[in-house]
Amino acid sequence: MASKTELKKLPNAELRIGDKTWEFPVVEGSEGERAIDITKLRAQTGHITLDPGYANSGSCTSAVTFIDGEEGILRYRGIPIETLAEQSSFMEVSYLLIYGKLPSAAELAQFEASIRRHTLLHEDLKRMYSALPKDAHPMAACSTTVGALATFYPDSLDPRDPAQIDISIQRLIAKLPTLAAYAYKHSIGQPFLYPLNSLDYVGNFLRMMFGNPCEEYDVDPVVKKALDLLFILHADHEQNCSTSTVRLVGSSMVNLFGTISAGINALWGPLHGGANQAVIEMLESIAEEGTSARDYLERAKSGDESARLMGFGHRVYKNHDPRARVIKKACDEVLERMGIHSKLLEIAKELEEITLKDDYFVQRKLYPNVDFYSGVIYNAIGTPANMFTAMFAIGRLPGWIAQWKELHQDPSFKIGRPRQIYTGPTNAPYTPIDRR
Ligand code: CMC
């Protein structure tokens, strides 16, 4: 496992409140990012910090993923995303994130083999789907069934037992594609396909999603490559909403299944992973209403929240989203090789083109993000919109696991427990119900 670099200590920062002054350590990470260490702030000064949305707060130190939002840099364990996208595979990237180093050929083969062996679901877990409504959102189905894994594997719930952690990791990575594919099959009333372990990770998922028991399913290599790439690009993104959820929930010492179930729910929201579904819905509504891309853009600029330009903007990337660059290229290739020309794609291209020249978007540094293009690819390969975010979750799983492992190995581990500044009534009287 790649170890964390020690934090560099810089001259202290001074904080003055009224006529009192305190000193706090300033630390620097391996990429030169600096932080004021306020661990003792409240104990020493009686004050806390107030930072809604945590835009200025570091919740941990981490050696998993580095992002420089100004420069548009993303690296997993130090390796640029562009290199991994070109030369690696999702299985290898998963190993890299979780175990902190690139695997040898033998290590990778063993990792892949153990994932393949755990793809099957317990028959009782499979039956859980019949209790869900047909129109259940796949993200709700996935978080439910991932949470339910804890009921099937009560022997591997200890987050501090290395053997239990390893088997839980293998089960989760192996079973999430099966769980996601079954959510889809249930929604369209088709039989579930047992995993076919002669296929690789992505091929198996595609067959369980799009195949049926009546005929052979040939995995399209172009689609498989595109999906593997999407999974790589989604695999980790440091302390975003779902990963912070995973760390916070995990800090209560709950098991990995319960933790990842919470992460899946956090990812579901349209401002986070759910944006890929929202992108296609936005493109469809533009097409259906017959409005132009330009009109829609003007509505988005007027602050009309119902016309927010989904797939644009990012809390961290203020130059470009490096994942979007890689994926745009892949997107063009996939559509070209599959010979797809769709109205939605035309609208997407037009939106992208005019937005990149529009003052409003340029000034606010709003660029297409990964979800803008991933939605278009998922759509092109025949995926229903409500499955997009579940596919994002499959990609993000190794990142969540890596961050969860790191949390538990951190010597400064403690339960996450932010504070607040209370603004409600002070010492309010209680009026009995008959006098209200
Ligand atoms: N369309 C129109 N205006 C926007 C958009 C957008 N997509 N994004 C931001 N703005 C405006 C916003 O109204 C604000 O304007 P003003 O300064 O005049 O008030 C300004 O840009 C700053 O926006 P913000 O909401 O303060 O930015 P944020 O960092 O809090 O939000 C965001 C980031 C991703 C939530 C937001 O850009 C957004 O809602 N984008 C659309 C949803 C989306 O694509 N999400 C996927 C993110 S990538 C996948 C992931 O990592 O989860």
Mean pLDDT of 176-201: 96
pLDDT at 318 over 90: no
**313 within ligand 1 shell (Cβ under 6 A):** yes
Query: What's the DSSP call for residue 22?
Result: E
Provide the 3-class DSSP secondary structure of residue 36.
strand
Substitution candidate for ligand 1 out of 308, 352, 373 with most atoms within 8 A of CB: 308
Ligand 1 lined by 297 (C-beta under 6 Å):
no
Q: In whole angstroms, give the CA distance from residue 30 to residue 11.
A: 17
Q: Which stretch of DSSP H or E encloses residue 17?
A: strand 8-17
Residues 287 and 347 sit within 8 Å (Cβ to Cβ): yes
Count the alpha carbons within 13 Å of 69 in the hemisphere toward its beta carbon: 16
What does the DSSP 8-state code read for residue 76?
E
**Nearest 5°: phi and psi at 332?**
-60, -45
What was the pLDDT predicted at 341? Answer: 73
Predicted confidence at residue 62, as pLDDT, reads 98
Residue 44 has pLDDT above 90, yes or no: yes
Residue 310, ligand 1, Cβ within 6 A: yes
Rounded average pLDDT over 243-268: 98
Q: Give the catalytic positions in this structure.
A: 314, 371
pLDDT given for residue 206 in this prediction:
97
| Ligand 1 pocket residue status of 375, Cβ below 6 Å | no
User: Is the pLDDT score of 81 beyond 60?
Assistant: yes
Return mean pLDDT, the chain: 93
Instruction: Compute and round to an integer the Cα radius of gyration of the chain.
Output: 23
| pLDDT higher than threshold 60 for residue 36 | yes
Q: What are the distances in angstroms from CA 239 to CA 79, 231, 257? A: 18, 18, 19
309 close to ligand 1 (CB < 6 Angstrom): yes
Percentage of the chain lying above the pLDDT 70 cut: 99
CB neighbour list of residue 339: distance below 8 Å, 6 or more residues apart: none
Rounded distance from Cα 299 to ligand 1 centre (Å): 15
pLDDT tens figures, 111-129: 999 999 999 999 999 999 9
3-class DSSP state of 47: coil
* Identity of the amino acid at 222: V
* 69-73, 139-143, 169-173: the lowest-pLDDT one: 69-73
DSSP 28: E
Kindly indicate the confidence band of residue 3, based on its pLDDT and cuts at 50, 70 and 90: low
Q: Sheet containing 8-17: which strands, arranged edge to edge? A: 8-17, 20-28, 34-36
pLDDT for res 404: 98
Q: Is the pLDDT of residue 2 over 70?
A: no
Q: What percent of the chain has pLDDT over 90?
A: 75
Please give the distance, rounded to the nearest whole angstrom, from the Cα atom of residue 53 to the centre of ligand 1: 13
Question: What confidence tens digit (pLDDT) does each residue in 328-366 have?
Answer: 888 877 888 787 777 887 888 899 899 989 999 999 989
Residues 38, 174: Cα–Cα separation, whole Å: 40
> Can you tell me which residue has the tokens 């369209």?
188
Confidence (pLDDT) at 5: 83
For residue 89, the model assigns a pLDDT of: 97
**Beta-sheet strand order (sheet of 79-80):** 65-68, 73-76, 79-80
Joined tokens for residue 371: 């979800």
Atom of ligand 1 lying closest to residue 273 CA: 52
Cβ distance 404 to 247 under 8 Å? yes
Average pLDDT over residues 261-272: 95
Q: Is the CB of 307 under 6 A from ligand 1?
A: no
Backbone angles phi, psi at 251, to 5 degrees: -70, -10
C-alpha–C-alpha distance, residues 268 and 387, integer Å: 11
* pLDDT over threshold 70, residue 86: yes
Is the confidence at residue 395, as pLDDT, over 60? Answer: yes
Tokens of 100: 């902190």
- 112-to-85, 340, 352 alpha-carbon distances in Å: 19, 33, 38
- Return the best residue to mutate from 51, 233, 312, 373 for the ligand 1 pocket (most ligand atoms within 8 A of CB): 312
